[in-house]
Amino acid sequence: MIDPATVEICPSILSADFTRLGEQVREVAAAGARRLQIDVMDGTFVPNITMGAGIAEAVRRVTPLLIEAHLMIVRPELHIPDFAKAGADLIIVHQEATLHLHRTVEQIKGLGKQAGVALNPATSLSTLEEILEYVDLVLIMTVNPGFGGQAFIASMLPKLRRLRAMLDARGLTPLIEVDGGISPQTAPLVVAAGARVLVAGSAVYTPKQPVAAAMAALRASYDGVATV
Ligand code: DX5
């Protein structure tokens, strides 16, 4: 059985109410979140433009939570210093977005930050074989990045299980994170498949229920899940 304390919900502010962002950050912290994610999009790597280092700096000012900067942008190496300076604790780059991934991961760590690498749904796990030992987190996208509220891609479950097996076989222990379409229906599936950090935007910041109730519902959904 999974110990639910070993699973983290990582609220994505993409779906937050930006007219009261500070309050929405405090709400997820009060509801037990230990980290949150800033979804950075450039309109080129993904079809949407969202937010930059200024939002990371503003969020840093209102919370001690661990801040993940998920850079869904081309040439992230040009912008990593800005997010490090803004106060991000963990910077995630896409394998597909940087030509020299080892150099980019070393750049992040050289700035004293944790490094994460993300894979889009169609990108093979094999592209990570040479970098796994250098990263603190691997993010398996369970939607095609660009927008909140998209449908979960169930064919990512075998990919999660293969990643878990790959890491276990090599004795590597980066966090396995998922992002996209995480809800009380899909959270138990990804946890059973090996995910331990669940990025959730529209399931947390939803008009259907308060943030605290939404996070409690997510937690309850995977409590008692058996590992595969
Ligand atoms: C990529 C974004 C979204 C967001 C989570 O599109 O990174 O995945 O964080 O969106 P939800 O939880 O609403 O699917």
- The angle formed by the CA atoms of residues 147, 138 and 226, to the nearest 5 degrees, is 95
Over residues 53-108, the pLDDT tens digits come to 999 999 999 999 999 999 999 999 999 999 999 999 999 999 999 999 999 999 99
CB of 100 closer than 8 Å to CB of 71? no
Q: Which residues contact 203 (CB under 8 A, 6 or more apart)?
A: 182, 183, 184, 214, 218
User: Using a CB cutoff of 8 Å and minimum separation of 24, what contacts does 25-30 make?
Assistant: 25/59, 25/62, 25/63, 25/65, 26/62, 26/63, 27/210, 27/211, 27/212, 28/65, 28/204, 28/211, 28/215, 29/63, 29/65, 30/212
pLDDT in tens, 11-20: 999 999 999 9
- The set of residues, in sequence order, having a beta carbon less than 8 Å from that of 189 and lying 6+ positions away, is 154, 157
What is the overall mean pLDDT for the chain?
A: 97
Could you list the beta-strand ranges (E) of 88-153: 90-94, 114-119, 137-141
**Atom 4, ligand 1: which residue's CA is nearest?**
148
Q: Which atom of ligand 1 is nearest to the CA of 150?
A: 14
- CA of 196 from ligand 1 middle (Å) equals 16
Active-site positions read 39, 179
Query: Which residue in the block uniquely carries the two structure tokens 């992040």?
Result: 108
How far is it, in rounded angstroms, from Cα 97 to Cα 45? 7
Among 38-42, 188-192, 223-227, which stretch is predicted with the lowest mean pLDDT? 223-227
Locate tokens 């500070």: which residue? 22
- pLDDT band per the 50, 70, 90 thresholds, residue 227: low
Our answer on whether the CB atom of 145 is closer than 6 Å to any ligand 1 atom is yes
Ligand 1 midpoint to CA 70 (Å): 10
Is the pLDDT at 222 greater than 90, yes or no? yes
Distance 101 CA to ligand 1 centre (A): 23
* Ligand 1 pocket residue status of 222, Cβ below 6 Å: no
Q: Judge whether 24 and 211 are in contact, CB under 8 Å.
A: yes
Calculate what percentage of the chain has a pLDDT beyond 70: 99
Task: State whether the beta carbon of 182 lies less than 6 angstroms from ligand 1.
Answer: yes
Going from the Cα of 211 to the center of ligand 1, the distance in angstroms, rounded, reads: 16
pLDDT at 228: 54
